[in-house]
Chain A
Amino acid sequence: MSTAYNVIGTRPPRHDGADKVTGRAIYGADVQMAGLVHGAVVRSPHAHARIKRVDTSKAAAFPGVMAVVTADDFPQTPDRIVDLGEGETPLSYVRGNVLAKDKVLYEGHAIAAVAANSAHAAEQAARLIEIEYDVLPCVLNVTDAMAAGAPALHKESNVTDHVRHAMGDSDSAFASAAVLIEREFKTATVHQGYIEPHAATALWNNDGRVQVWCSTQGAFVVRDVVACLLDLPVSRVKVTPTEIGGGFGGKIPVYIEPVAALLSKKCGRPVRIVMTRREVFEGSGPTPGSLVRVKIGADASGKFVAAQAYLAYEAGAYPGGMVGAGAMCVFAAYDIPNQTIDGYDVLVNKPSTAAYRAPGAPNAAFATESVVDEIARELKIDPIELRLRNAAKEGTRRADGPKFKKIGCVEVLEAMKAHAHYAAPLGEPSHAEAKRGRGVAIGYWFNIGFASSCVISVNADGTANLIEGSTDIGGSRTSIAMQAAEVLGIPVEKLNPSVVDTDTIGYTAVTGGSRTTFATGWAAHDAAQDVVAQMKARAAKLWEVADVSFAQGVFRAGDRSMTFAELAARLSETGGPVVGQGSVNPRGAGGSFAGVIVDVEVDTETGKTTIVRFTSVQDAGRAIHPSYVEGQMQGGSVQGIGWALNEEYWMSDGGRMMNASLLDYRMPTILDVPPIDTVIVEVPNPSHPFGVRGVGEANIVPPTPAIANAIHDALGVRLRKLPMNPPSIVAALA
């Protein structure tokens, strides 16, 4: 489909490849500088407690200690509503999550921090901080938190928001349904599981400027949060994003950067804080556990006539969880005329939740796609065929308002139906106690736009430097540069992309929401067009003509022509360097649909599920770099497999996470997954210059229900609670 392009759709090596395979790339914890000292954070051992007293005197006196800070060290600016890149929220909540003041709301909640001349000394001193608590009862799931008389985290009710979307009249439409299925589902709290722990270094300089080097999905979010909490103008905070070792949404929130800055202010030295893995699990934001009820009615032909959803999602310790997105996505794959969707944002004594790849959508799709599978069985309609009969198309209205533009839901389903996997025999189980089954599911994520900036400077040798503000978590330097190269008509190797600090490029929102290749790529496209326009003017000047055309990297006027490189060599004589810029804040993010076909084998005695074959299908709009699109699909698929089968926050009754290690959290290893087959569908997004939709997220939505449907196919029992681990399968079979 990409034959019209020279660069887009090819698979060039990434610009940062050599740095990353040789160990030279500098990640968050790799930052070194003269005079660096080490910070350690003191965290709550209780899930819910009033802080009665904090005594830092012994820590401050410990040899090697240079500074100790608590929440009292923040400027006590009055509370107000702020928007720091993640929606509106009271400043006191942002500040309270970074360092707790009166109350701790989850185990791992930061309370104080120490800086010392060695990491050893910092950690030992941190243990000497004495904190007296008044331990309070805690609530760890939405049911308990919503119950009458439940211990309240903030105000009287733990329900902090109720979203409702409705269209048509679902109650009366259910009456006409031939089949009506209503089920309840639960999903566990899970973590993004990035391999690099959070790491930040801050220097409060003698001129009052603060510099931060950190591993983040959004350097400008860090800048804005640090400035806000320290009561500084944003121009006095400079954030340099390091390479980032995974994020998946979990490195959008800011935790340690303001603390490192406060410590630096006190000791006058650069301070580095690196979380331990336990701190990552307990002190950063997981994605919510949830309780979801879905009811769908269909007529005898399989047409869905009405649907209702009740979604209660954990917000964690502060309001503003993922339920809004869940409510947008729960029925988005289908054209259902009558819908009612209720979503509740519920406080619990767990870390404040954070985004995780299509945040909120997998919880909802687990329910919807399991119910759709039941309807297909009830009506004896092929599950892909049933979905095709109801698939959302251009013009379909979602219950939350928008009407779809051109989307690829049908095309994804058609590709699944046509795939050899769907027709292939299941194969014989590997032993007598094993059974096999196949499941399918689809999922939706809306993707986001948001602001991005890009600057391109042309070099005299025909190459160009591209600077941008989107941290590169999976090859986006290259997928962005490819879009500029396409416009400039030069090979992508001639572009030299850099991700720069917040002083050097215009505001750029987070690497998240599947927006980077879409929006920053768009900014690169615009910057490249700006370069072309300026260079056309230079050619016109040289040739003394009015009109110059440009195509395939060649400037032409009449019978005269010059390549991009030839003209680049003559910029200085025609008026000086050419610098192009692009800045966008697009609204036209095109939603992406993804589908999964999965074969499982379940050992009926041990309850262990093995993924035998897995096919992921996704609409990329336009695959700029197909290898990276496949990589996103494969990565999201395997995270979905982990979510489905084993991952969970396993909490004690007192609210302590008992499996806060990479040993016991049980993310999939390379031995736990089969090859992940991928099919890229391209239904170009009409709102993007190259048709890009963004592919980072939708792929994690269908795996959990597809696996649940496959387990049902194998065993005849339905698992409606995640994770579907061996004990729960044995219990379901008993």
Chain B
Amino acid sequence: MTLNGEPVEFLAEPRQTLLECLRDTLHLTGTKEGCGDGNCGSCCVTLDGNLVTSCLVLGVEAQGRSVTTIEGIARGNDLHPLQKAFIEHAALQCGICTPGFIVAAKALLDAEPAADEERIRLWLANNLCRCTGYDKIVRAVQAAAKEMR
């Protein structure tokens, strides 16, 4: 498959999830597991551009497909506007949900650069955060959207 723009090859047992392959086989531990059943969004990645929870994708399903993880969001040493905005707006506290939120928010802003607060909240409702109360996450995504436009 293509992982963050580069071709990779690996072996997976059918029962291994994409999340497991990313974390344990490919050692990309930026994608987190919070629940294992698609209800927290910490493991969000994009699969051929679609936002998915990688805990509910089999690794073998990704064969020949393109996967983007949190490790593929920054361009070299330059943080993506969303990453900068999350730091500047204090949109993370413990940071465990942050990779999922950034991957999810990027998928939204790539498709809908003009997304408003209502749209942002609806899109991100698959991602749980227990620290921030979400307020500063919304502000950060709005700020990044403005920056990206």
B114 at the interface (CB under 8 A from A): no
Q: Mark B3-40, 1 if CB is under 8 A from A, else 0.
A: 00000000001010000000110011111111111011
B92 at the interface (CB under 8 A from A): yes
Of A71-79, A158-166, A222-230, A668-676, the one touching chain B: A668-676
Chain B residues with Cβ under 8 A from A473's Cβ?
Answer: 93-94, 131
B70 at the interface (CB under 8 A from A): yes
Inter-chain CA distance A661–B127, complex, in Å, is 14
Interface size (A, Cβ < 8 Å)?
A: 58
Say whether B79 contacts A21, CB under 8 Å.
Answer: yes
A702 at the interface (CB under 8 A from B): no
Closest CB of chain B to A729's CB: distance in Å?
Answer: 23
Say whether B122 contacts A277, CB under 8 Å.
Answer: no
Q: Mark B42-74, 1 if CB is under 8 A from A, else 0.
A: 100000000000000000000000000111011
Say whether B136 contacts A245, CB under 8 Å.
Answer: no
B148 at the interface (CB under 8 A from A): no
Contact residue among A23, A244, A669 (Cβ-Cβ distance under 8 Å from B69): A23
Say whether B31 contacts A276, CB under 8 Å.
Answer: no
Check A634/B132 contact, CB under 8 A, given A195-B34, A277-B37: yes
Chain A residues with Cβ under 8 A from B28's Cβ?
Answer: 23
B residues 91-120 touching A (CB-CB < 8 Å): 92-99, 102
Q: A192's closest neighbor in chain B, by CB?
A: B130
Closest CB of chain B to A25's CB: distance in Å?
Answer: 6
Inter-chain CA distance A639–B131, complex, in Å, is 8
B124 at the interface (CB under 8 A from A): yes
Say whether A245 contacts B32, CB under 8 Å.
Answer: yes
Chain A residues with Cβ under 8 A from B24's Cβ?
Answer: 119
Interface size (B, Cβ < 8 Å)?
A: 56
- Residue among B27, B36, B92 with the highest chain A CB neighbour number at 10 A: B92
Q: Mark B123-141, 1 if CB is under 8 A from A, else 0.
A: 0110111111111111000
Contact residue among A11, A245, A630 (Cβ-Cβ distance under 8 Å from B94): A245
Inter-chain CA distance A277–B99, complex, in Å, is 19
Closest CB of chain B to A337's CB: distance in Å?
Answer: 38
Chain A residues with Cβ under 8 A from B37's Cβ?
Answer: 277, 661-663
Number of A-B contacts (CB under 8 A): 173
Say whether B138 contacts A675, CB under 8 Å.
Answer: yes
Inter-chain CA distance A634–B15, complex, in Å, is 40
Check A20/B95 contact, CB under 8 A, given A195-B40, A196-B34, A671-B121: yes
Contact residue among B71, B94, B130 (Cβ-Cβ distance under 8 Å from A22): B71
Closest CB of chain A to B10's CB: distance in Å?
Answer: 15
Q: A274's closest neighbor in chain B, by CB?
A: B33
Chain A residues with Cβ under 8 A from B97's Cβ?
Answer: 195, 245
Check A120/B15 contact, CB under 8 A, given A18-B79, A277-B37: yes
Contact residue among B39, B69, B98, B121 (Cβ-Cβ distance under 8 Å from A20): B98
Say whether B128 contacts A195, CB under 8 Å.
Answer: yes
Say whether B35 contacts A11, CB under 8 Å.
Answer: no
Inter-chain CA distance A250–B83, complex, in Å, is 28
Say whether B32 contacts A670, CB under 8 Å.
Answer: no
Say whether B96 contacts A631, CB under 8 Å.
Answer: no
Say whether A23 contacts B121, CB under 8 Å.
Answer: no
Chain B residues with Cβ under 8 A from A637's Cβ?
Answer: 133
A residues 1-56 touching B (CB-CB < 8 Å): 11, 13-14, 16-18, 20-27, 29-30, 32
Which residues of B line the A interface, CB within 8 A? Answer: 13, 15, 23-24, 27-37, 39-40, 42, 69-71, 73-74, 79, 82-83, 86-90, 92-99, 102, 121-122, 124-125, 127-138
The 10 closest A-B pairs by CB, nearest first: A23-B30, A245-B96, A634-B133, A20-B95, A638-B133, A474-B93, A17-B87, A23-B70, A627-B90, A30-B29
7 new A-B pairs (CB below 8 Å) besides A119-B24, A473-B131? Answer: A195-B94, A243-B94, A243-B95, A274-B33, A632-B93, A638-B134, A670-B121
